[in-house]
A and B are shown apart, each in its own frame.
Chain A
C-alpha cells in the first residue's frame, strides 16, 4: 500500500538508498534535509555548514523524481542538542548528542512537522530494523550489518516514535547499500562515511567547538593522580572524557588514563592502573524502556555503554525515581557519566538510559 512518507536525507549514501527503496515500493515521498547550522557559523571552521549535503540530497531526489525540501532546524538543533550537550561537558560529563538529535530533532521536530503536513511517517537511512513483538509493540532490532548497526543511537525513541519510523536499509549490509546506489546510478554512491562528523571537522574537538559557540570560559585546573599529587595542568576539563589517554602529561614510566572529572574543583584525576577505570555497577536515569514496564525483578540482558562497544552481560532492576540499576557480570572499562547505556536482549533493543 502506498503511504505518505518523509525521508530524512543527509546527502549520504544510506539515506539516498533508503529513499530509492521507498520510491521503488511506490510510496508518495518527500525528501527533507535538515539544516542544522547557519552558513555564517561555519566561516573560519573547517567543517561544512551542510550545503554539500543539501545539494547532494536535492540531486538524488531530483533523479528519483520526488520533491525535496530543506527544513531549517538551526534554532531547534541548538536548543535541543547543542546547548544540552554543552551543559553536560560543563558539568564534567560526556554527552551523546547523536541520541538527543534522533530523539528530539529527527524524530521530534521533523516528525511533528511531517505530521502537520499530513505525512504520518518519517524514514531515515539508519542501520536498524523494526519488527513487532508478541503483543504488537514496535520492536527495535539491531541492523543486519553488525559493523554498521545504529540501534544504539535510536534506543531512546519511544514506542510512539517507532510506530511512525521506517528504516528501509536496516535489513541491508553496507556493501549491498553501496552496490544498490551504484546500480541505481545515485550521485551519492561514492560519498565517504560521514558518521559522527556532524558539525565538526575531523580532528576538531566537539566539546571545544561547543565551548566557543556558547562563549563559555574554559575551566582550567589541575591534573592529579589517585594519591592527590599534582601531575600537571589543563586548560579546560571539557576536552577530557573518562578513559582518555591523549592530552595527559606523560608519566615518568607509566601510561595514564582519565579516571574522574570534577566540575566543582576543576580537577581531572588520572590513574595509571587500568583496574581503577572499571566499574561493575552503575545507575541510569531518564530511562526509555521499550519492553513494557521497567523490570521490577532482576532481568538478565546485555548492556552497551558506548557506540561501537560490544554488549556486556548484565542484570538490571528498576530503582527509585524511574532509575535503572545495572550490575555487570564482568567489570567494564570507562563507564562514562553522560553517555547512553543501551540494553539489549540479543538483537532486540530493550531501552536506553543516561549513565549517572
Chain B
C-alpha cells in the first residue's frame, strides 16, 4: 500500500544512484579485495574510493575509516575497543542516559566486568550539561561517549564540551553520529573527537554497512579475529557492494546536505506547528538545537503506540521506537531521562522526514495525525 513515510530516523530509502553504483560491485567487480590478481585489484579500488568518499563526508583521512557491519558494531568497537586497550589505571567510561542501546548496552556490559561507568543525566531538553561532563572527567576515565544527535528527539549533544572535558584528563572521546551524519555538517577535526560511528542506511545507503572513524594514533582492541582487513580492527572479507553504496551515499549526502537540511527543516517546522495547533494537548519533546528532520510530539492523554498503529492503518509510517507492542509498553528511555512522567513519555510519537518528503506529504500527514488523535479520543469515551 502507498504510505507517507515519516520514519527516516529508522531507515531511509536507497538512493537510485547508490543502487546503480552498487551494481558494479555486485556484478563485474566481484573480486576479493584481498586477492593479488586484477579481479581483486578492481574490487580493492572500489573499496578505496568508497573509503575516501566516507572520509570526505566526515572531514577525516581515508585511513581513519574502519568499515563495520553498521552503526551498532561501530559503537561496540569504539566502546569495547577503547576499554580493552586502555591502561590499567583507566577503567572509567562516561556516557549519557540518552544514548542508543548500541552504546548503552556495551557500557552496561563493561560495568558488569568491573569498569566504572557513569550514565550522565540530561536536562528537560534532553541535553547533557557541560558541568556534568567536566565533573565526570577524571584521570581514571578512558572514554567519554556522547552522541552527536539523539535518535528519538533529535536533540544535539554538547560534544565540543565533552572534548574539552576529555582534554583536561586525557580521556578519548567517541561520538555516535549515526543520526547526525548526512543531516548535519560534520568535521571530525573541528569537533575534536577521536572516534565517530555512522551508518549507511540512515543516509540513503544500503543496510548492513557502517563505519567507525578512528583518529590516527588511537589504539583499540578488535572484537573479532581472523584476518588483516580494516587494519585487523574488523577482519573478514569486505562487504564490497555495501561499502561502495555507503561511499556513494556519503558523496551524495555531502553535495546535497545544505539544501536538503534547509528544506527538511522547513517541512518539519511546519508539521510541528500545524500539529500542535490542531491537536489539543500536543507538545514538542526536546529543545535547544535539534536535527532538522526530527519531530517528537507528545499527545497528552493518548497512547503513542495506539497513535502509531492508527496512523499505520490510515497510511502514515511513524514510530515510538519499539517494534513489539505490549499492552503496557515501556516508554522511551530518552523521554524518561528528560524527566517526563511515564504516561507523558508513553504518549509520544516520533516523526522524521527526509529527502523524499514533500509539501503534500506534510499537509496530508497533519490531517492523518488529527484524525488518529480524534479516533483515540472517541475510543476513550
Contacts and interface: CB of A to CB of B under 8 A. Distances in A.
Interface string A97-117: 000000000000100110111
B376 A72 contact: no
B303 interface: yes
Nearest to A28: B313
A53 to B, nearest CB: 14
B312 A118 contact: no
Category for how many chain A residues contact B: 20 to 34
Interface in A1-21: 4
Given A65-B1, A117-B376, A71 B306 contact: no
Contact of B310 (A65, A113, A118): A118
B327 A117 contact: no
Interface string B294-329: 000000000100100110110000000001111100
Given A65-B1, A115-B379, A118-B376, A70 B324 contact: yes
B378 A118 contact: yes
Nearest to A115: B379
B375 interface: yes
Contacts of A70: 323-325
A30 B325 contact: no
A117 B309 contact: yes
Interface in B114-128: none
Contact of A117 (B1, B323, B326, B379): B379
Contact of A30 (B313, B323, B379): B313
A35 B324 contact: yes
A119 B378 CA distance: 11
Contacts of A119: 379
B275 to A, nearest CB: 18
B193 to A, nearest CB: 37
Contacts of B379: 115-119
Given A117-B379, A118-B379, A72 B324 contact: yes
A71 B326 contact: yes
A81 to B, nearest CB: 15
Main secondary structure of the interface of A (DSSP, over half): mixed
A77 B204 CA distance: 41
B375 A118 contact: yes
Contacts of A32: 325
A70 B305 CA distance: 12
A199 interface: no
A4 B310 CA distance: 10
B376 A113 contact: no
Given A118-B375, A118-B376, A109 B309 contact: no
A70 B303 CA distance: 17
Contact of B309 (A35, A65, A69): A69
A69 B379 CA distance: 20
A28 B303 CA distance: 20
Contacts of B326: 71-73
A233 interface: no
A202 interface: no
Contacts of B375: 118
A76 B306 CA distance: 19
A117 B310 contact: yes
A30 B327 contact: no
Contacts of A109: 327
Contacts of A117: 306, 309-310, 376, 379
A12 B324 CA distance: 20
Interface in A46-76: 65, 67, 69-73, 76
A65 B310 CA distance: 16
Contacts of B306: 116-118
Contacts of A112: 327
B324 A67 contact: no
27 contacts: A30-B309, A30-B313, A65-B1, A67-B313, A69-B325, A70-B323, A70-B324, A70-B325, A71-B325, A71-B326, A71-B327, A72-B324, A72-B325, A73-B326, A76-B327, A109-B327, A112-B327, A113-B325, A113-B327, A116-B379, A117-B309, A117-B376, A118-B306, A118-B310, A118-B375, A118-B376, A119-B379
Given A71-B326, A112-B327, 20 more contacts: A28-B313, A35-B324, A65-B1, A67-B309, A67-B313, A69-B309, A69-B325, A70-B323, A71-B327, A72-B325, A72-B326, A72-B327, A73-B327, A115-B379, A116-B306, A116-B380, A117-B309, A118-B375, A118-B376, A119-B379
